[in-house]
Structure 1
Amino acid sequence: MTRVLNISAYLFTSLTDLETLREALLSRAVGADLRGTVILAEEGINLFVAGESAAVRGFLAALRSDPRLSALTAKESWSDDQPFGKMIVKVKREIIRMDQPTIRPEVGRAPAVSPERLKRWLDQGTDDEGREVVMLDTRNAFEVDYGRFDGALDWRIDRFTQFPDAARAAREDLAGKTVVSYCTGGIRCEKAAIHLREQGVDAFQLDGGILGYFERVGGTHWSGECFVFDEREALSADLSPRARSSS
């Protein structure tokens, strides 16, 4: 059986010719028999695509041939079946909606912490300066319920647009601590870390998100699974899909 390669990738970068780019990407993806979702906005690209491995990697290489997308990196996982029903390429106002127009990661990122460094912090119980480390889950509540970092802070939000208000309410509680925002693939926690720093919080983003952490250091300090927005539903720390019931 030929296994299906799944990739998730995003990049905050300034894009202009969105409709032309949408048509070109849709044509290329459909021609390569790929399925999934690509979201384009003036602030960048966000994608989840699956198919035969050479076709997926060829699609990614074609994206990187555009100088604006040359820094695009992807996280890989495998499945026995195609987890998407069709190929969709959309143009939206934001690649991840936050409704905070002053938050512009394409202009400048918040500091990132690598999975390896984060694991060391969690192993020792503090960051390298001896400060308390707070893991902050930026995902929606139902996603958190599938799994989270041990002891992570969860504000029970139902959508990411609620994050700014929750952050403002918790600002004083986070003072003097090293806060690491995390999410599935890195896109939400990137915007979240910028907003937190604007609120005076010493915040970092987890580079590559949960999936990047799984890929590079495994499931240490993690409990449960990671929800994903496709038919696999959730991934284990070894990036294998949730087992389906035969009933």
Structure 2
Amino acid sequence: MRVAALYCFTAFADVGVIAATLAGECDRLGLRGTLLLAPEGINGTIAGTPGAIDAMLAAIRALPGCAGLEVKLSAAAAMPFHRMKVRQKAEIVTMGAPGLDPGAVGAYVAPADWNALIDSPDTIVIDTRNDYEVAVGSFAGAINPGTTAFRDFPDWFRANRDALFAGRAAPRVAMFCTGGIRCEKATAFLKSEGVADVFHLQGGILKYLETVPETASRWQGECFVFDERVSLGHGLAPGSHSLCRGCRMPVSAADRASPLYVEGVACPACSASRDDTQRAGYAERHRQATLAAARGEAHIGQAARRDDA
């Protein structure tokens, strides 16, 4: 199974028409995943057979301004999504900072050159992802903003700017995210705030893990991904994390060994917030999913919905 993470900032005039066209093409090709469309472009992750992925990427590249579509390919042993969703949004990655110029981004740094940049003591390295993603893995020494949503990043930066740049007349900032799209906006935001020397990892963490040998890597841990694979390691190998079905947060091996972890029900992060009614509901859902899997049937997703139709 091939997985394609993709994005492109471009001006779409007829978002609804494009969304309907792509939804039909995804259905025809048997793809699953999520595509987000907005007047500023397209963003998403899709999975399917190699031929279907190639056909879909060709269709997207044929859209106005999408010839330079940014794509990261990886593999999955099984379909990592339950269904296909094509959504219209105000932004393809929500930052809530109107007026940003997506063309005025920081300088791209190739994965092969990233270590030299972040190894310098003069470089401030910022992880632009959410706190639960950072907990799974990050670059050594990177600053964790501790945000729970990307839209919190502007407020975090403004509140911490003085401390971040203390004693630096001309700060140099290096930023990174999973696939690169959040840094397109984060670096543009910093530049709009008057920070001139801004860089970001081209292709994101995924491209770094794919191309930089583990022996030379500055990455620690695994990289959280927003699908059923949950996390990936060096070489984009499957990671060790799973997903809590109660709160949808990543669960490590240590979490699974905790007495607070109940498969399909709760994990250490959410156990205290689950009442008996919720626990019973989650347990029944997990039981039904387990029975369906034993029968070789889908419990959720497209196949299940079609069987019920």
1:156 and 2:128 correspond: no
1:144 and 2:134 correspond: yes
Residue number among 46, 49, 52 corresponding to 1:49 in the alignment: 46
1:168 and 2:158 correspond: yes
Q: How far apart in 1 are the matches of 2:84 and 2:238?
A: 21
Shift of 1:177: 3.0
Assess if the C-alpha contact under 8 Å between 2:180 and 2:201 holds in 1: yes
Assess if the C-alpha contact under 8 Å between 2:100 and 2:192 holds in 1: no
1:27 and 2:24 correspond: yes
Q: How far apart in 1 are the matches of 2:143 and 2:110?
A: 19
The amino acid that maps onto 1:50 is: A
Q: Which runs of 4+ in 1 moved over 4 A?
A: none
Assess if the C-alpha contact under 8 Å between 1:64 and 1:71 holds in 2: yes
Determine the structure 1 residue equivalent to 2:212.
Answer: 217
Determine the structure 1 residue equivalent to 2:91.
Answer: 94
1:180 and 2:177 correspond: no
SS at match of 2:4: strand
The amino acid that maps onto 2:113 is: R
Q: Which runs of 5+ in 2 are unaligned?
A: 243-252, 254-262, 264-309
The amino acid that maps onto 2:105 is: R
After superposing the two structures, state which structure 1 stretch, 235-244 or 149-158, moved more: 235-244
Shift of 1:116: 1.4
SS at match of 1:238: helix
Larger Cα-atom Rg? 2
Shift of 1:108: 3.2
Which one has the bigger strand percentage? 1
Shift of 1:59: 0.7
Q: How far apart in 2 are the matches of 1:155 and 1:194?
A: 17
Deviations 1:117-138 (A, max 9, x none): 212334xx32xxxx61121001
Q: Which runs of 5+ in 1 are unaligned?
A: none
Residue number among 182, 192, 195 corresponding to 1:198 in the alignment: 192
Shift of 1:216: 2.3
Q: How far apart in 1 are the matches of 2:211 and 2:130?
A: 24
SS at match of 2:54: helix
Shift of 1:113: 1.5
Shift of 1:218: 3.9
Shift of 1:165: 1.1
1:108 and 2:108 correspond: no
Residue number among 114, 118, 134 corresponding to 2:114 in the alignment: 118
Q: How far apart in 2 are the matches of 1:165 and 1:66?
A: 34
Percent identity, aligned pairs only?
Answer: 39
Which one has the bigger helix percentage? 2
1:59-98 paired onto structure 2 within 5 Å: 59-98=56-95
CA RMSD of aligned residues (A): 1.7
Deviations 1:104-153 (A, max 9, x none): 31x4333222211212334xx32xxxx61121001110000000000100
Higher relative contact order (CA 8 A, sep 6+): 1
Assess if the C-alpha contact under 8 Å between 1:6 and 1:77 holds in 2: yes
Deviations 1:56-101 (A, max 9, x none): 0111011112242111021011111000001110000000111111
**Matched pairs, number:** 236
TM-score, structure 2 normalization: 0.73
